[in-house]
Amino acid sequence: MSMGISRRVAIGAGAAVASLAVARPASAAAPATGPDAIRHCYERQKTKAGGHWHSHVAAVDATGALQTVIEDDIDFVISGASVQKLFVAMTVLDKVDRGELSLGQKLDLPGSIILGGSGIYHLHGVWGDDITIANFLTAMLLVSDNTAVRMCGRVVPALEINQILAAKGFTYTRVEPVANPNRFFLGVTTPRETHDLLWRLANKTLLSPASCDFLLRITRWINGYHDGIRRNMSSAERSRIAIKYGADGDRRHEVGIMFGADGAPALTFAFFAGGLSDVNNYGATQPAVQAHSVLGRMLFDSIATATVPAATARQTVTPFHAVDGG
């Protein structure tokens, strides 16, 4: 694939290419979204965005087996930022599966626990609600609410979170305990372990099928994060991607699962990057986030019509329909 072609040259060449299109055998055209094209796009976007990237992408073949597409320093231990909230949510749902908690269980939301940054609870201005575990897990996963992390710590203390992570087979992924046993910093993970969580979640082996569906239903909903992977997509396309974004200082991460046309998991991605510039820009114009948007479009195009008859698990979401009150 050629690089460095100007727009003027590309337009001039376009007419010549079009004139040859009828005579050119279809088999001679290289797939625009095949593994080589994806890897080339990744390297180009990574270089353009700068920083230090650590990434894992895998796609499902016709037999339902995962095939690695990108493997870039996947055992690097990195601060996971808000990607860690997926792991925290998993530990809460693990206790739900074991009957020690229930999604309908209520906790109070006192003003003393409120954290700023991403989320919705700090915007209320007044507090004192009684909210369910399902409520704060939804806020934590859909809008990355920081206060919800503290709510999780009230039902699964930091040391227990790390014990559950270890029991689930995660070697490096941990939260960082502090003096208060019910609070913690979000800690570290690796692209390999994040991919492992995503693949097990997609195949509903990470937790009970009901708990996996709960996580996927929230992370696939179209009211979630759109600046990166899902930016240049229709609402229907966005709903086929389970997503979690993490950003803190010079780090911008995005991880998730793309589902095929039949609801089977078709592709997983875990993009972690640190040492980036434009550190105070948490919007769509941040260079790494722009890179995610280009990669997201290409990755989705590669599985847009995919079906996986051999898949052992499928997951669908209710189509989005606008509602005008009433």
Tell me the two tokens of residue 248. 């803190």
Residue 8 pLDDT: 38
Extended beta strands in 129-240, E state: 130-132, 174-177, 184-189
Instruction: Tell me the domain boundaries of the chain.
Output: 30-76+190-303
- Give the dihedral sign, CA 4/59/192/179: positive
pTM given for the model: 0.88
| Average pLDDT along the chain, 326 residues, taken 10 residues at a time | 39 37 38 86 98 97 90 98 98 98 98 96 96 98 98 98 98 98 98 98 97 97 96 96 97 97 95 97 97 98 90 83 83
What pLDDT, on a 0 to 100 scale, did the predictor assign at position 6?
41
Q: Is 126 helix (H, G, I), strand (E, B) or coil?
A: coil
pLDDT given for residue 27 in this prediction: 38
Other Cβ atoms less than 10 A from the Cβ of 192: the count is 19
Given this structure, which CATH class describes domain 30-76+190-303?
alpha beta
State residue 97's pLDDT score: 98
Nearest-angstrom CA–CA distance, 92 and 287: 34
Asked if 60 contacts 302 with a C-beta cutoff of 8 angstroms, the reply is: no
- Alpha-carbon gap, residue 121 to 131, rounded angstroms: 11
